[in-house]
Structure 1
């Protein structure tokens, strides 16, 4: 049992404590699955367009947009993962809903609102059940008020482990190392 705790501790200490996760799409050639990006204009501006190149996705004059990833084989993520649109920036406000699907249908939906401002990551947090056997991800983007054309951009789509999960594994491992150290010290003192 002690060896398991020590191995967990070494694993946790060796693992980088960062937000790095599995890249779904970096818009630079690395894409898991098949990507479809559709945008539609609102109001009197019928010029919506979507571009994917040089490490970013960019859409102009968007009232509604849909970004879908379809995977050839199911994706299973461990507990406490989230999906993230990194460096997200918008020229207005709205919301994005992420819909996950498996072979039997929709497994979950999470919605995040956004406003114009500096680039930041938008995270969609799901529970463990929703993140098993994922066959597709669909990001539905709406401007607010609906029909108002806005511009949006982001640099990648990622599956990211939540920091609390990393911290818990690290604490369990460190606890095992402390127990082992105390046993060694008590063994040496007894001799």
Structure 2
């Protein structure tokens, strides 16, 4: 099995080494002829989980990757126009870099956010910049990769993961079958305590 070692961000302590297989890194990769014309803006560090997942999504479908990582605002605008970018996955910090709104990019049809908290004001600005885009919020971690997406800013555990993810005392617990390998992981039974706390917005519908 091919394995890739990556490190957590260290925002809650010392960075942890996590070993992933190609299988765990590509669990959320979608492959189809209908994706072949996508053009991706590459806005993440390529050695981090989010960067690797964007890379594999594009690579698997033979898509162009346009490097906008660490580019300034003017450079990003120019690259989006020059290469007719259709898909962007980035942190809210990256999208705030594009403000104030100067022009729109109607060719962009999918925009995803992840890694940080967002807000309604940013969503509204993004809709002005990318008027034809569907906007999704992604929950992912270095330990597990992408787990679920939201329309807007509310998440819901997908049906296929209901037996792999649970919530205890408002904390997300992730089944060990979804994780990479690390000596730093500690489990309660078969579940890893992510340290990520949620707030229920509609517990009956499972929205948080």
Verify same fold: TM over 0.5. Answer: no
Q: Which has the higher contact order (CA 8 A, sep 6+)?
A: 1
| TM-score, reference length from structure 1 | 0.27
| TM-score, reference length from structure 2 | 0.25
Answer with 1 or 2: which has the greater Rg. Answer: 1
Higher strand share: 1
